[in-house]
Amino acid sequence: MKNIWLKIGCYLTGHNYEIIRNSSEASSKTVKKFLSAILIISILWAFIGYSFAKRYLHSDVLVSSIVALIMVIIVIQIERQIILSVGKNKLVILFRVLIGTVMAVIGSVIIDQIIFKDDVEKNKISNLQQEVNSILPVKTNELDYQIMQIDSTILTKEAERASLIDELARKPFIKSASTETRHLATNYTDRTGAVKDTIVRRTDYTLTDVPNPKADILPAINGQIDQLRRQKAEKENSKINIRQEIEADLKSKTGFLDELQVLFAILLNSPIAMFVWIMFFLFFMSLEILVLVNKFGEGHNDYDKVIAHQMETRISMLDKIGK
């Protein structure tokens, strides 16, 4: 079990297990210290990545877990930049402190948003009402305009229907002419006095009263008016419930920047909340530079000297080959 822990430490930190195994106990303890620091930071950032994806990206458990794993990989790779560095590179130290500061700020902010969730929600309610009050007049005016357009169309259709009913009342029937052509057999007397047969074509015209065909238009107009009235009723119901609809729509969207703005308002207005945030920031900052302190706070152990010796030997060989 001891070797397994050491192998895991070498795998995550990038140390050579064969050299560590043949080195002193001090080198093994250094690897274990690095491993402990990396595990603490990785677990913390896995939780932050999972919570962020779950809350603000609205991801399911699988996607949130993948985001958490990516955060762990990023943290390990960042820490390796310090652990695997040979010598004290001040530029590397500066950049690691800078990255640590940024990560500490981001981590403390996200953790505070989770801890102060109820306080953020209470402040969001107040902000929500302000947003609703600003959006409501625009939506209401739009619905009023649509209702006015529907009323205008209804009045036009009702006037058309009244005119049609008046015309039907005056002329319920109209004259319809029909023709019938017949061929009749008859005879006539010619100039010589002879009687001859002939066929005469006769066309008869008949006028009959039929219902006014415009009466068929009346049901269609009534149907259009009924449909317009239903649309008007729907618009009026939407106008009544528009405030609740706007509130529900705004509540369904969890905005990271919105909650961040609310959180900073809480921090600026509450000394206690600001104190808590500073404590979390210092905690995250301490964790971020923990590996850096472990790396450069102690002297070189035999593992570091073996690596440095191997490097110097290799350089010397290359210089001789070059000459």
- Each residue's pLDDT tens digit, 213-245: 777 787 888 888 888 888 888 887 777 777 777
For residues 204 and 60, state if they share a domain: no
> Is residue 29 situated within a structural domain?
yes
pLDDT (0 to 100) of residue 124: 66
> Is residue 147 situated within a structural domain?
no
pLDDT (0 to 100) of residue 69: 92
Which of 174-183, 216-225, 288-297 is predicted with the least confidence, judged by mean pLDDT?
A: 174-183
For residues 200 and 260, state if they share a domain: no
Number of structural domains (the chain) is 2
> Is residue 131 situated within a structural domain?
no
pLDDT, average across residues 252-263: 67
For residues 54 and 110, state if they share a domain: yes
Which of 99-103, 176-180, 265-269 is predicted with the least confidence, judged by mean pLDDT?
A: 176-180
pLDDT (0 to 100) of residue 183: 67
Contact 287, 78 (CB under 8 A): no
pLDDT (0 to 100) of residue 247: 66
Return phi, psi of residue 23, to 5°.
Answer: -95, -175
Per-residue model confidence as pLDDT tens digits over 199-212: 767 666 666 666 76
> Is residue 130 situated within a structural domain?
no
For residues 91 and 179, state if they share a domain: no
Closest C-alpha among 49, 21, 68, 39 to residue 291: 39
Q: For residues 265 and 261, what is the distance between their CA atoms, to the nearest angstrom?
A: 6
For residues 260 and 200, state if they share a domain: no
Q: What is the mean pLDDT of the chain?
A: 76
Distances (CA, A) of 35 to 16, 126, 315: 14, 46, 31
pLDDT, average across residues 270-284: 82
For residues 10 and 102, state if they share a domain: yes
For residues 16 and 116, state if they share a domain: yes
> Is residue 110 situated within a structural domain?
yes
The fraction of the chain above a pLDDT of 70, given in percent, is 75
Per-residue model confidence as pLDDT tens digits over 101-147: 888 887 777 777 777 777 766 766 666 666 667 777 777 788 788 88
Q: Which helix (H) or strand (E) holds 174?
A: strand 173-189
For residue 1, is pLDDT > 60?
no
Structural domain boundaries enclosing 206? 175-211
For residues 108 and 12, state if they share a domain: yes
Taking the CA of residue 66 as centre, how many other CA atoms within 13 Å lie in the half-sphere pointing to its CB? 5
Contact 217, 224 (CB under 8 A): no
For residues 75 and 180, state if they share a domain: no
> Is residue 240 situated within a structural domain?
no
Of 211, 231, 263, which closes a domain? Answer: 211
Q: For residues 289 and 35, what is the distance between their CA atoms, to the nearest angstrom?
A: 14
Entry pTM? 0.55
Distances (CA, A) of 106 to 103, 120, 289: 5, 17, 15
Of 184, 211, 238, which closes a domain? Answer: 211
For residue 314, is pLDDT > 60?
yes
For residues 35 and 91, state if they share a domain: yes
Structure-block tokens of residue 25 = 């106990």
pLDDT (0 to 100) of residue 95: 77
> Is residue 315 situated within a structural domain?
yes
The fraction of the chain above a pLDDT of 90, given in percent, is 1
Residue 172 DSSP one-character state: S
For residues 31 and 179, state if they share a domain: no
> Is residue 9 situated within a structural domain?
yes
**Confidence class for position 194, pLDDT limits 50, 70, 90:** low
For residues 104 and 25, state if they share a domain: yes
